[in-house]
Amino acid sequence: MGTSRLGDVELTYQLRERGERVVLVHASAFASWYDPLIEQLTAYSTLRYRRRLRKSDSGVYRALTVAEDAGTCVSVMDHVGWDAAHIVGHSYGALVALQLATENPGRVGSVALLEPAIRGVASSEQIIVALQPVIAAYRSGDKAAAVDGFLRHVCGDGYRGVLDRMVPHAFDDALEEADLFFQSELPAVQQWSFGAAESERITQPVLNVLGAESAPRFVEGSELLQSWFPRAERLSVPKAGHLLMVQNPTAVARGLKDFFSRHPIDQVGSALRRRSL
């Protein structure tokens, strides 16, 4: 593990140098979910990181934006000497990936979006209602109940058995980062704005990834994403829901490797440079 500090942002990262470069982005609470997938990407250089903010004197985290997190991703890439990479983002991390491709296209070879936590889907109101007891549990001080409730909401009631088997420390990691997630990252999702106009600025290849057993909100999100990127390639992951890279890392890795092989970073970078002339 490497470490770095950027102002009040402390970073820990895991770097493996092998072949073409891949950055894996997630909310800090759930970054360890990528562990099974990284083990499948043996021919690729991978960079996974966890970002922490410094707490105020009162013990509260400051506000965070998705745009700031996209800038943090660029800073991590700078720190390890990567000029460009394939960007893989899951849930909150997919929003960061979209923002990064919009603001720093030269750093992004391709974008793989694993069930982005995008807003504006048909079930948005139901999602808000479903999360109310989760937020209430966190505000009452019961972090374990809040994390469990949130993960049941997005991953289904059977999530814990899968996590404990595949990434045994994952729930404890999420619990340790609960304050950051509920105080800064979840509000950042709610404040993030992105739509068709913004999507027109992204010209890199896009992979739209959906678990075959995912909840309706993610199916709706996948269709909204496809409307933004009509030429996006699709990947359906069998026997998996929102926890897809933990439930079926082999299928996710196979789909990613196929996508990356057809869109080498140098080839995409050359195309981007030609468009800018």
In angstroms, the CA 195 to CA 227 distance is 10
SS3 257: helix
The tokens 């890199």 sit on which residue?
204
Residues 6+ apart with CB under 8 A from 172: none
Q: Which two tokens stand for residue 82?
A: 């990567």
- Write the pLDDT tens digit of every residue in 30-87: 999 999 999 999 999 999 999 999 888 888 999 999 999 999 999 999 999 999 999 9
For residue range 204-249, list pLDDT tens digits in order.
999 999 999 999 999 999 999 999 999 999 999 999 999 999 999 9
Please give the Cα distance from 61 to 88 (Å, whole number): 26
Q: Which domains does the chain have, with CATH numbers?
A: 2-276 (3.40.50.1820)
Would the pTM of this model clear 0.85, i.e. be above it? yes
C-alpha to C-alpha distance for 39 and 157, rounded to whole angstroms: 26
Helix (H) or strand (E) run with residue 211 in it = strand 206-211
